[in-house]
Chain A
Amino acid sequence: MSADALIQRPPQGRRRRRWGESAQGWLYAAPTALFIVFLFVLPLLTVLRMSASDWPLLAGDQGWNLPDNFVKAVDNRFFADSVVFTLKYTVLATVLLIVLGLGLALLVQESTRWKGFLRTAFLIPSALGLASASLLFYVLYSPIAGPFAEQMNALGISFLGTPDAALWSTLFLIVWRYAGFYMLLMLVGLQGIPDDVYEAARIDGASRWQIFGRITLPLLRPTLALTTILCVTGSLLAFEQFYILTKGGPDNSTITVVQLIYSVAFQGQNDLGVAGALSVIVLIALVVINFVQLRAFRTGEES
């Protein structure tokens, strides 16, 4: 055997092994890849085509009509209102959930039996589905069957009767359902801050507020970024809570963008083309908003 052959053989063997590894890797990933292609990439391409086509719900594709659907979508009489309402709801829900999630996490951070109980109590509503929770509050807020029905009627207040009341009642439901979940994410983040950093600050005589402002918050930045992005995305796509609790009312004051898409596609207009155009607008808006958020959190990190 020549020296040449000796040198050449190992790479060859490695190449064959690498080919085998690739094939095996693809084999294990193949079912997922199939799902992604047929149930994610294909629908995504379909919605793009839909947004550029005349596409009634029952008749199906009637050919291209770009940009009619987008014009109709923006001209829809609820478009501007639903965008404004969705943004307002998103800001309020995100601020409430991040602040309360962090607050609850700080309350139950150490592990004692009482705090363990509190953690479980805060987390239990997260096990419910959003639809179940909305149905629960639908009864709870009811002026007939709710536990506060008599007081409400006596005082002339209603939980869902005015636009503002409906918004805040829905926000309460969302905080009830999600605060525990955000608390859990915050706890994970808090756990990642090493104890000796706190120790050092305490030895230097830092007050509680100084420790919170100068150590906890900055070191929690990755968690805050993740939870904010999660919450903003989820809130922008709000549907069930309003569909079940307020049905968009009173006076169409609580229509979110996703509700608008649903009603254009399946209730009345039955126009999948316009619904597709609205979906594409939401998709683009979401990508831009998330990109901006990521940039904001990253530049904050550098400074």
Chain B
Amino acid sequence: MNRIRTISDLEALRRSILAGKDPGKAVIGVCCTTGCRAKRSGEVIDALENEIREKGLQDKVEIKKTGCHGFCEMGPIVVVEPANSFYCRVSAEDVTDIVSETALKDKVIDRLLWKHPATKEVVVSQKDIPFYKKQKKVVSHNSGRIDPTNIEDYIAVGGYDALAKSLTAMTPAEIVENVVASGIRGRGGGGFPTGIKWRICSSAPGDTKYIIANGDEGDPGAYMDRSLMEGDPHSIIEGMIIGGFAIGAREGIIYVRDEYPIAITHLSRAIKEAEEYGLLGRDILGSAFDFTLKISRGAGAFVCGEETALMISIEGRSGAPRPRPPYPAIEGLWGKPTVLNNVETFANIPRIILNGASWYSDMGTAGSKGTKIFSLVGKVGNTGLVEVEMGTTLREIIFEIGGGIRRGKRFKAVQTGGPSGGCIPISKIDMPVDYDSLREAGAIMGSGGMIVMDETSCMVDVARYFINFLMFESCGKCVPCREGLKQMHEILKNICEGRGQRGDIELLSDLAGVMTTASLCALGGTAPNPVLSTIRYFRDEYEAHIFDKKCPAGVCKNLFEYVIDEERCNGCTLCRLRCPQEAISGEKKKPHVIDRERCIKCGICYSICKREAIRVK
């Protein structure tokens, strides 16, 4: 057991870990977190272990189960060192080649490399792929590089150095002021300056204080916190110990939703290892500072991501926000001063401590410092997790990193910030992504979700979808949120089903205004954003639904018809053969027609027609 009692112990341990590494040994890193596991990276691992055992290559090849690389669409991802080859969509059948060619002979296998969709050129290393070129990995720099279940891997890359520096070379007040100076703002959604929160809590009276990490990520389509907890749990733990020392808390809690089993396993293991190595517990690194950490599992209520509801949930009651003030930094968990930050915020802390506040504040824009991980999903070419400097434009994220819109369709909008975010249209595509610009555009940073939509998305339907989600996830405590969402959903449903009335847009705006100002917590306060932003940028679509009873995007089934363009149809019969309703008729090589009475608007003909002869009317 390598119990670390002093800084020199930590340094000695790092030296011995690095000295124990055989430079001649190839390392095959396989992503073993959610995205790649869903694509069967487990089978790749099994096959690799078999291969190495059968061929007796234990001394020459090492398998490393790593965290997420972000390019989840291309999973399972396998990185082989020292060849530094980045393999995509690897299956168990590729394992023999990877071991014999790349691991043993340093030869790159072309068929497994990332291929440019247009030029068909292959790219060997990760940093040369366009998806990664514009990214700046600060928080997620360890994820994919280290084995998250092995504390020594983390220590080897400089882990717990920031903790050592904090505990021995800095006072709590210096840490707080460093975090203030870095300009970092909360990564969970609200964007409150982290350092200020710490300062308030550290000066709050009381001997018992708590520090909590919020890992209750619940936005549809967002999974950056999950990936961080799975891929680099120690950086979160290190950030929390530093935070605990800074504010005077001796107990920390990581609140994770139970739907994240790998995150819980990896965090639990990381806590246990940190305890065994003496980095958690009594007298950490000989500093006389005691700190313990435990995990609290959430039952998956979206509202428990709200700070007061989260604390109430930890206390064992059903999660519903309570009015503020008093703010948690003064009166939080069990009535004690509490700092609650998102897991991504905590993962930033060791980097800030090690590299200095000015290094951090040099990145980003005037009001938003550092980098942010975004979950880039939807109708975009490359989906996955991307970490960029604050202030990167939407165009860079969606078109350069994301590779543009799928299937040559036109970009329509991007929904940022999860269900309580807003839809940003093409006219704002060159907008820098930071807290203030997003708010100005009617959206929010949220936890960093980005759902890209193309011309086939109906914006009224999108608003209805998010309001429906929030209606079920609202805790139901305050009237504007509970009753407001119910009525808002009803109005939107009516509009989508062709029962919209004159005055609906005005009523929606009125109701949204009241919900924004009068709701008890941020869930209700930001819930109308999808409606407000779509009315602001896509009012014509609402008007088309209400007055013309038409859905221009062809989504709301009561409000459009499929028709065949006689000029374009060449009578290939494909649509006729595939129509489940037998609603299409016509002779071979002659224009076909759709029987309106029979058509159920399933869209099969629309999507299979090669000549784009089927139109939405």
Physical interaction between A and B: no
